[in-house]
Amino acid sequence: MPPAAAPPRLSVVLDTDPGVDDAWAILYLAAQPDIEIVAIGAAHGNVPTATAAANALRVLDVVGLDHIPVAVGHPTPLQQPLHTSEFVHGEDGLGGGAGPTSPRRTSPESAADQLVRLARQRPGELTLLALAPLTNIALALRTEPNLPRLLRRVVLMGGAFHVPGNVTAWAEANSAHDPEAAEEVLRAGFDLTMVPLDMTEHAWADEFWLKRIADADTPAARFATSVLDAYVALYSSARGSVGCVLHDPLAAAIMVDESLATYEEHQVMVELAGHTRGATLVDGRKFTISHGGIPDQRPPIRIAATVDAATAMDRIHRALATP
C-alpha cells in the first residue's frame, strides 16, 4: 500500500503590527511544518509601521526565517489620524524586550504592492492572515480590484459583536484604528473568515501556562517570554489574576485548523460616524432588503462563533516549547 500523501502546505502572507501577541503568532506559525510564510507586510496599529517592520524582522531572525521579506505598510489610516498602542505593547512594541535591530533591510516595495504582486504571481494559492488594521489590504484592493479572486482566502483577527470593544465600548482595535479600511475589505467579496474579540478573549494564558513557556529551553520560548512583562502586567491588573490574552495566536491557530471553531455567516458593516465609529455591526436577519426593496448584495462574512480555546492554547504551547 503506498504511503499517504503529505498534507499540502498552506502558503501564507501576513499583514501584522508586532506587537506582543503578533510576535507570538509569528513564532507559532514558524513552528508549523505545513505552513509556508511567504512574506510579511507591516502595518500601523500597535506601533507605527516602521517599528512593526523592525519587529517582524527581529522575530523572523529568532526562528531562522531570515529569507522571508518584510515590506513596510502605509504609515497612517485612510481618513483619520494615527493612533498606536504602546501603552499596551511598550514603546518598542515588544515590551522593552525587542533587543538589537535585525541586520536585514525591509523590502523596497510597499506592503500593499507586495501583496498585489504575490497574489498576481500565485493566483488562488495564497492565504492572507490579517492581524492589524486593514489599511494595507484596502490599498491593495484599490490597486487590484480582482484581489478577492486572486487570494485563496483571508483570515482576519478583528471586530467585536457581543462583547465590548477594547478601544472604545463598541470598537475593537483593528477596526477602530482604520474603520474605512475595514469597511472596504469587509464588503469586497473575499472568502473571509473573521475571528472577533468575542473568540480571542477565550485565549487566556494564565500564570501556570506562561510558566511552562518560560521553563522551555527553545529560542522561540525564550524570546516570547522576554517580551511579556508589561503586556501581562496590563492584563493582570485589568482581570485581577496573572495572565494575558493571546488574540493573534488564536486567529493563527484557527487559520491552520478551521475545525477549532464553529462559524456563522452574516453580512457585516463597520460604523464610520459618531461615537460608535469603528464598531462592527452584524445583520442577523435571514433576509436583508434595502429600503428600495432590492436585496442587499453585500457578501456574507464567515464569523467564528465558538472556539475550542483549550486545544488551541495547547497547540500554541507545543509550538513554542518543543525543540
- At 88-117, the pLDDT tens digits run 999 999 999 888 999 999 999 999 999 999
Cβ–Cβ under 8 Å, residues 320 and 218? yes
Three-class DSSP category at 261: strand
Does 76 fall in a domain?
A: yes
Sign of CA dihedral 55, 56, 60, 63: positive
Burial 152-165 (b: 16+ CB within 10 A, else e): bbbbbbbbbbeeeb
Residue 196 has pLDDT above 80, yes or no: yes
| 294 in a structural domain | no
Nearest to 41 by CA among 132, 141, 111: 111
User: What distances in angstroms separate CA 249 from CA 75, 200, 201, one per listed residue?
Assistant: 24, 9, 11
- Please tell me the least confidently modeled range out of 96-105, 154-163, 240-249: 96-105
Query: 301 pairs with which residues across the strands?
Result: 266
Q: Does a structural domain hold residue 154? A: yes
Would 2 be classed as within a structural domain?
no
Q: Which of 100, 91, 90, 51 lies closest to 72 in space, CA to CA?
A: 51
35 pLDDT more than 50: yes
Quick one: pLDDT at residue 5? 54
State the average pLDDT for the chain.
93
Q: What pLDDT, on a 0 to 100 scale, did the predictor assign at position 114?
A: 98
pLDDT at 2 over 70: no
Euclidean distance between CA atoms 111 and 315, whole angstroms: 29
240 pLDDT exceeds 60? yes
Number of domains observed in the structure of the chain: 1
The pLDDT of residue 262 is 98
Active-site positions read 17, 247
Rounded mean pLDDT of 255-275?
A: 96
pLDDT, average across residues 188-205: 97
Residue 289 lies in a domain: no
For residue 3, being part of any structural domain is answered with no
Question: DSSP letter string over 287-317?
Answer: S-B-TTSPBP-PPPEEEEEEE-HHHHHHHHH
Q: Is residue 5 part of a domain?
A: no
Provide CB contacts within 8 A for 31, sequence distance 6+. Answer: 63, 220, 319, 320, 322
pLDDT score recorded for residue 298: 82
CATH number at residue 306: 3.90.245.10
By residue range, what is the domain housing residue 57? 10-284+299-321
Q: How far apart are the first and last CA of the chain?
A: 33
49: DSSP letter? H
pLDDT digits (tens, 9 = 90+) for 58-73: 999 999 999 999 999 9
